[in-house]
Amino acid sequence: MKPITQEDLLSLEEYDCQRETIQDRIKAHKDRRRLDLDDYISVFFEDRDTMWYQVQEIAKAERLYKPEELQDELGVYNPLIPDGSNLKATMMIQYDDRPVRMEKLAELAGIEHRVWLQVDDHERVYAIADEDLDRSTHDKTSAVHFMRFELGEAMIADWKAGATVRMGCDHENRPLEVTLPEGLQEELAGDFR
C-alpha cells in the first residue's frame, strides 16, 4: 500500500463537513479487520484507510494545518501501513476496572513478543512489537502494542489460496489460539499487494 501524502488529506473544514459519514465508513471497515483473541485481547489490523482516518482525527483534534505539522503526523502513521509482505496491527488489552487491569498487565508482561500468526502448516510468525518505542517493562506490559508480522512468499501465496490461518499467543499466562474467520482472512489478503 502506498504511503499517505499531504495531498491525500482533507482540509480541516472539508473533514469537519464529511466527518460523520467518514466515521461510519471507517467504523465498518475497522470492524471487518478486528480479531478478538479472547474477551479482553483484541487485534485491529491496520491499513491505509485506518491510518488516514487517524491522521485526520489528530489534525482535527489538534487543529493541525501547517505542512510541517501534517508531515510530522504522516511520519508517525505511515510506518503502520502494510507494505506488501506484512500485516500491521494494534493489539489492545482491555479491562475496564483499573485495579484488575493493572494486575492483568503485570501477569501478561512480555505478551507482545508471544503473539503469532500461522498460515496452514508453515512455521509461526511472531510479532515484531513496538518498533517505535518500548511500551513495557520487565514487570508489566502496556495495554496497547503496535505489531508487524512479516510473511514469506509461500505463506502469502497459501494465504491468498485460502489456507487456514490461525492467530494466537503462547504466553505462559494466556495461551490462546483462534482461526481467522473467512471474511477477515479475505480482507487481509488485500494487504499483500
pLDDT single digits (tens) 25-54? 999 999 999 999 999 999 999 999 999 999
What's the pTM? Answer: 0.91
Domain that holds residue 89: 6-189
Q: pLDDT grade, residue 134 (50/70/90)?
A: low
Is 109 contained in some domain? yes
Q: What is the mean pLDDT of the chain?
A: 94
Does position 113 have pLDDT exceeding 80, yes or no? yes
Q: pLDDT grade, residue 135 (50/70/90)?
A: low
Does position 168 have pLDDT exceeding 90, yes or no? yes
Is 128 contained in some domain? yes
User: Count of domains in the chain?
Assistant: 1
Q: Is 182 exposed, middle or buried (0-12, 13-18, 19+ CB in 10 A)?
A: exposed
Distance, first Cα to last Cα, the chain: 7
Query: Could you tell me which residues come within 8 angstroms of residue 173 by beta carbon, excluding any fewer than 6 positions away?
Result: 107, 108, 111
Q: Over pLDDT 90: what percentage of the chain?
A: 92
Is 1 contained in some domain? no
Is 15 contained in some domain? yes
Task: Check: CB of residue 52 under 8 Å from CB of residue 22.
Answer: no
Does position 147 have pLDDT exceeding 90, yes or no? yes
Query: Could you tell me which residues come within 8 angstroms of residue 143 by beta carbon, excluding any fewer than 6 positions away?
Result: 92, 93, 94, 101, 105
Chain segment 65-97, per-residue pLDDT in tens: 899 999 999 999 999 999 999 999 999 999 999
Alpha-carbon distance of 140 to 78, in angstroms, equals 28
Alpha-carbon distance of 1 to 191, in angstroms, equals 7
**Helix, coil or strand: residue 170:** strand
Alpha-carbon distance of 105 to 99, in angstroms, equals 10
